[in-house]
Structure 1
Amino acid sequence: MGSKREDCTSAAAPVIRRDPYEVLSVSRDSTDQEIKTAYRKLALKYHPDKNANNPEASELFKEVAYSYSILSDPEKRRQYDSAGFEALDAASMDMEIDLSNLGTVNTVFAALFSKLGVPIKTTISANVLEEALNGTVTVRPLPIGTSISGKVEKQCAHFFGVTINEQQAESGIVVRVTSLAQSKFKLLYFEQDANGGYGLALQEDSEKTGKVTSAGMYFLHFQVYRMDSTMNALAMAKDPDAAFFKRLEGLQPCEVSELKAGTHIFAVYGLALFICALVLVSFHTAFGWF
């Protein structure tokens, strides 16, 4: 009798997670770039696209993605370093799925979860990442100060090459992508590897802002903040000043980086579950944008 109760107790015990640093095979003092490099290699190695008949690889891929979601976020990394997994807010750890590995039925459920407000982050298809690493993607030149519109199919990426001079690099640039159809997408930034391929360095998921979805990257020499755009329209109409200051309370810092003069590679990756992402891509120098 006692052994049976012990078995039940052990079966109900929570799953023990591995140390994220151990999963990614990096040290605790690793730089952000070293963590990104380790994640890219492991994500490609265990990606479901490459391991269709290997359930173990699929679980390892999820573990790698989960570990990277902690170590790539400065606040989550700080919390984990100070007190382990218990310090992390479980509600903030969004579900991450790979659309390229979903059948029709599961895609329907993913779409329903998304519409119900369940935060679902999506991984990028291994085929897209591998083509970029091999340098076999088509890169369309796009001058600073111009915009382009078009459609991006689900799980496909359109690549753009932006060349900036010393003066533009000094001023800083802003990259903005908008979907008038409110489609979901990712804005990606790639760094050129020694072999001529492109490795994923930064990514931003689109967010609903008013009547559109949008994503932006800021390569500046000063901090930029994002204002909460979810304020109720009725509250705005009733007391605009109070509503405005309420929105200011929700200011969030955007990730800001710097670019050197040269050609830089960006891409828009389609995440729409059933429709194409109609997007408008624009590149502006900072002083031309604000």
Structure 2
Amino acid sequence: MEGMGTSSKMEGSSAPASRRDPYDVLCVSRDSTDQEIKTAYRKLALKYHPDKNAANPEASELFKEVAYSYSILSDPEKKRQYDSSGFEALDADGMDMEIDLSNLGTVNTMFAALFSKLGVPIKTTISANVLEEALNGTVTVRPLPIGTAVSGKVDKQCAHFFGVTINEQQVEAGIVVRVTSTSQSKFKLLYFEQDASAGYGLALQEDSEKNGKVTSAGMYFLHFQVYRMDSTVNALAMAKDPEAAFFKRLEGLQPCEVSELKAGTHIFAVYGDNFFKTATYTIEALCAKSYEDTTEKLKEIEAQILRKRTELRQFETEYRKALARFQEVTNRYNQEKQSVDELLKQRDNIHLSFSVANSSLSSSISFSNGSSSKFVGEDSKPESPGEDGSSDGKDKSSKKKWFKRI
């Protein structure tokens, strides 16, 4: 969010239950310009900032309401949706409130610092006092000529301001402003635009990052549109759909709000982002003429990324369709497999019933009552008693045998 820097999102936070018209909250009209909306937001955010209202608990809620309203009106798509259909048209999941964690008084500052020391990264906002002094134009600006470097130490939650003056030739070539800290201090590099009231409004910020044995941050302003990589773009969608992490990865490449500077003096600042100690730094401003090959390579690479992003958008559609088709045939496969298994099981049971029945029948015939079975076709009549009435069966000459004619 411009004007307040980057702030941490608290889990479970959401839009206010009772929501007022964002235009009413910021005291602007529907035909107000982006700059007018931004200026109104900055003034109200500073007015209700918890730094300045420790004894007024209502100010914190008003601060959230102002931030929520600005998050709608500063986003062209959200603004269009709201103008068309009101709050109902906005994605509730994408409207999480951004809450200031670093400047809510001594207790909360210590709380945030302890979490940071434990390894949980919490990005801080910029002190309301620093922003207000800049907006009122009451800050001390030190000159920083092109090609020079200045070293210093800045207190925590404070800022050192520098004026970089450039001419038309340097505008054409572009300039680079960078800050390094060999003591690995934590800081922010800020760029301020001239405000209508002769003050300075925050336009860009870069957080220091560790690179080898130093921490550093840099900004470059070239003679063509440059881009910045915003990792928070579509972060919610990516969290819900892991596969989107690939397809949405290049969506974070966004055109920088300020990519080219005009001739004149421009205001930069080094902000001490440490909680308990000063930040040691060296700031320098350079003409990008010496980086001519590098800037052309950057232009080429970013153009390739933009083309690749368009290709990925088209490929994602194809991939989703193929994935849906794959899921469909996979389900069909599982169903068919289950059906085949069931049919074979039924057949095996039937086959088993035949086998078991034949075995039982054979056993019954062969061994029942201890008698042996007779073959089909064998004379099964009982033996006739002899002529003498005896039935000992000794005289077998009178018996007919089917295999011998007499």
- Normalized against structure 1, the TM-score is what? 0.72
Task: Name the CA distance, whole Å, in 2 between partners of 1:224 and 1:207.
Answer: 20
On the 8 A contact 2:165/2:264 being kept in 1, the answer is yes
Instruction: Name the structure 2 match of 1:109.
Output: 111
The reply on whether 1:144 has 2:146 as its aligned counterpart is: yes
Aligned residue identity for 1:208: E
Identify, as 1 or 2, the structure richer in helix.
Answer: 2
Which residue in the other structure is 1:284 paired with? 286
Give the conservation status (yes or no) of the 8 Å contact 2:187–2:274.
yes
Paired letter, 1:88: G
CA displacement, residues 25-83 of structure 1 (integer Å, 9 cap, x when unaligned)? 33455443222211121122222343332111222123223443554466776787784
Aligned runs of 1:134-283 on 2, under 5 Å? 134-193=136-195, 195=197, 197-211=198-212, 212-225=214-227, 252-253=253-254, 255=256, 256-283=258-285
Go from structure 1 to structure 2 and tell me whether the alpha carbon gap of 1:280 and 1:108 turns closer, same or farther (over 3 Å shift): same
Aligned to 2:90: 84
| Unaligned stretches of 5+ residues in structure 1 | 1-12, 230-247
Structure 1 or 2, whichever has the larger Rg, is 2
Cα 1:180/1:221, change in 2 over 3 Å: same
> Of the candidates 12, 15, 18, which is equivalent to residue 17 of structure 2?
15
Scaled by the length of structure 2, what TM-score is found?
Answer: 0.53
**What CA distance in whole angstroms lies between the structure 2 residues aligned with 1:81 and 1:119?**
36
Deviating more after overlay: 109-118 vs 69-78: 69-78
Q: Does 1:97 align with 2:101?
A: yes
Conserved in 1, the CA contact under 8 Å of 2:186 and 2:272? yes
Question: What's 2:305 paired with?
Answer: none
Secondary structure of 1:284's aligned partner: strand
Unaligned runs of 5+ in 2: 1-14, 232-248, 295-406
Question: Among the aligned pairs, what percent are the same residue?
Answer: 72
Deviation at 1:137, TM superposition (A): 1.7
- For the pair 1:32 / 2:31, whether they are aligned, the reply is no
1:143 deviates by: 0.5
Query: Residues 61 and 89 (structure 1 numbering): CA distance in 2 closer, same or farther, change over 3 Å?
Result: closer
Aligned Cα RMSD in Å?
3.6
Paired AA for residue 157 in structure 2 = Q
Task: Decide whether the 8 Å contact of 1:94 with 1:121 is kept in 2.
Answer: no
- Paired AA for residue 161 in structure 1: G
Alignment partners' CA distance in 2, 1:115 and 1:75 = 38
Aligned partner of 1:8 in structure 2 is none
- 1:219 deviation in Å? 2.2
- Separation of aligned partners in 2, 1:265 and 1:219: 13
Structure 2 CA distance, aligned partners of 1:286 and 1:80? 42
Cα distance between partner residues in 1 of 2:80 and 2:280: 37
Query: 1:14/1:30 Cα in 2 relative to 1: closer, same or farther (>3 Å)?
Result: closer
SS in 1 for 2:202: strand
Question: Structure with the greater relative contact order (CA < 8 A, sep ≥ 6): 1 or 2?
Answer: 1
